[in-house]
Structure 1
């Protein structure tokens, strides 16, 4: 289990050119993605007022991420990861640019928005498949826990800045967030072209590639052999699915309470600040708490934060703050688990194992988003909100009943 940097002296992450180039490009791309997650539902809600339609389009992106993620892991283990980075950024750029043209020309169609969401979600999944394999190539092993903490910080920062920026731009001119997102997707293209280190995978010229579909299942077999990873697979699937519904429900709650597009984006930004603070604290938390302790604590915080979103308020900020409380400990759980995965999974299986976990983590996102949208439209947003809180409560109890050997 070696990488291209194993034999070279380690330099601080702040001076690691390849890592910082990739980190910056990925940060720009993810910020664009989060701008779109606010702009598209607001576009539909403004045009039709239908939470159900907004949920269907948002769910289309989740479906693409789910369907593409699993094979993308095998592709990342056998095809040029540099080319995959280029392809993923171009797919996202094309999808969002098409929405930009439709909004600017005032020819917005629900079918087109759903198709664009599918393409953008597929590009996002391809980019995600390269993340852990690439990190192993550009970051030495002693620095990987710190790098993983920075990854959580990057994603949280994108969640913090993307939604309010998308909402603010939408309130100015409806096509503006799609223009900004289109430009941001060029960040991954720049990173793919600028990174000097070989990103792999490397095969001998005469080595025949094994059959694709049997090879794709190796990640599943690896996870099934570990009770710890199998349990975490289920936990991530349910929690991420509920989070997808909760994030969408935050937009619906704020909209129903009379908030403007800019205020909705600000509420999501305030909520994402919880993830930013959690990412900053992740190194401190993972050094002092075992993974099992973090898992228990995070699950109870999810219950408290999601239930607090039901408190009626004239301002969207308290709702966003309650959402932020829910997010606070999840970066530490992610860092703890991913550090275990990077340190134990063979390099040749990294793409498949990581994307099998990611596929499971996103497997229910589309269902939760669509179900939350339809339930909020038929009854009241509080109905799906309390349903999600009940699910978090059940998971919190399960963590105390289920005894699985975990790692620090």
Structure 2
């Protein structure tokens, strides 16, 4: 199973989209690390936190409108427009950090815009993929995208940090170039990727009135609640998102407390390696497992991994690190398969004109859950300690397994 397709094996429009997301992903991952680093070098820690918080806040505020936009206009134009705005935001940040005294309010505003456009692009991009390849090739396409994202997640932050060492404004100029390249690639897509208009009344959530503005806005959430399988899977994935961020924070905190700086790099590399290998696995099982089975396996394995770390947390540092590396690799190995299975389920069962709002609804729920993981882990580390933090995360993973089993009508749905 190849991570990337042989030349010409997929439609030209999909290859352009694939390359555009590759280019934009490098810019996004590079500035994901560069922005807080440069902010900490420029402002006080409290002010730097505001810069990062502005980006996260934008996902929550823009998530629902992003889905509406993706479902009511050309997704090609939405993607290209979002990347063009990110290009401008990156140039603005480069200009700010090139000056001696950048205005905090402007930096926060540009960070907010960048995060908002990331959400807009994501809703339109995820919704468009099933229309760019035949259904018979969708599993392979989604798996290749997971592999691409894994590579980007490993090399992007390294490039971003290296560019900061050269000049604080440089990573943002480079990111602007990657977003500009993405705009040009997206402009070459021949399909407008315009969703079909919904028949009157089908676009509204129950109790909101046919086609009402409120009904259209909350349609993504109502789709999740109305579909038993989707309800169970999304509820489980929200909990697993908390476990993911919480476990990473706990591992880094434990290693930092023990003075093992190199350990942070080792576990990060293990996560990237697991994600990359998992994208190969996803191509083999993503189309065979039901989405509930895929998420259930992930939740149960994560329960075991967190439980193992809870038991081993008190052992000697290097023994603990030797366990953490394969455990985190195994956890990330299972992520692409559940993602691919869910995307296939959505492609087969969710109307084309509603995918954007569904994807943005999921994104908003994940954005709410992700910060709770480090917060919960931090409180537990300050109190009972690492064993308790890992044990609570194991319990959350087990609850995810229960939810994905009980909320759907049947496991094989």
- The TM-score bracket by the shorter chain reads 0.7 to 0.9
Instruction: Report the alpha carbon displacement of residue 274 of structure 1 after superposing the two structures with TM.
Output: 1.6
Identify the range of structure 1 (310-319 vs 79-88) with the bigger mean alpha-carbon deviation.
310-319
TM-score after normalising by structure 1: 0.80
CA contact (8 A) 1:19 1:135 kept: yes
Cα deviation, 1:85-105, whole Å, max 9, x if unaligned, reads 122112222333222222222
Aligned 1:46-85 pairs, distance under 5 A: 46=41, 50=45, 56-85=50-79
Aligned length: 388
Cα deviation, 1:273-305, whole Å, max 9, x if unaligned, reads 221111121122335544444323322443465
1:130 maps onto 2:124 in alignment: yes
- Secondary structure, aligned partner of 1:198: coil
Q: Distance in 1 between matches of 2:121 and 2:94?
A: 22
Q: Give unpaired runs (5+ residues) of structure 2.
A: 1-5, 204-210
Q: Distance in 2 between matches of 1:41 and 1:247?
A: 18
Specify which of 329, 332, 354 is matched with residue 359 of structure 2.
Answer: 354
Give the corresponding residue for 1:277. Answer: 277
Root-mean-square deviation (CA, aligned residues, Å) is: 3.8
1:166–1:333 distance in 2 versus 1, CA, 3 Å:
same
TM-score after normalising by structure 2: 0.79
CA contact (8 A) 1:372 1:384 kept: no
Cα deviation, 1:88-133, whole Å, max 9, x if unaligned, reads 1122223332222222224355544433322111001110111233
Give the corresponding residue for 2:29. Answer: 34
Q: Distance in 2 between matches of 1:112 and 1:248?
A: 29
Give the corresponding residue for 2:401. Answer: 399
Q: Distance in 2 between matches of 1:156 and 1:213?
A: 37
- Secondary structure, aligned partner of 1:174: coil
Give the corresponding residue for 1:335. Answer: 340
- Secondary structure, aligned partner of 1:14: coil
Q: Distance in 2 between matches of 1:198 and 1:156?
A: 28
Q: Distance in 2 between matches of 1:170 and 1:298?
A: 36
Give the corresponding residue for 1:237. Answer: 238
CA contact (8 A) 2:197 2:353 kept: no
Give the corresponding residue for 1:7. Answer: none
Give the corresponding residue for 1:8. Answer: none
Q: Give unpaired runs (5+ residues) of structure 1.
A: 1-10
Give the corresponding residue for 1:101. Answer: 95
1:183 maps onto 2:177 in alignment: yes
Q: Distance in 1 between matches of 2:253 and 2:157?
A: 14
Give the corresponding residue for 1:390. Answer: 392
Identify the range of structure 1 (54-63 vs 75-84) with the bigger mean alpha-carbon deviation.
54-63
CA contact (8 A) 2:151 2:276 kept: yes
CA contact (8 A) 1:13 1:19 kept: no
Q: Distance in 2 between matches of 1:181 and 1:266?
A: 26
Give the corresponding residue for 1:215. Answer: 216
Instruction: Report the alpha carbon displacement of residue 388 of structure 1 after superposing the two structures with TM.
Output: 6.2
Identify the range of structure 1 (319-328 vs 67-76) with the bigger mean alpha-carbon deviation.
319-328
1:188–1:250 distance in 2 versus 1, CA, 3 Å:
farther
CA contact (8 A) 2:247 2:390 kept: yes
CA contact (8 A) 1:44 1:54 kept: yes
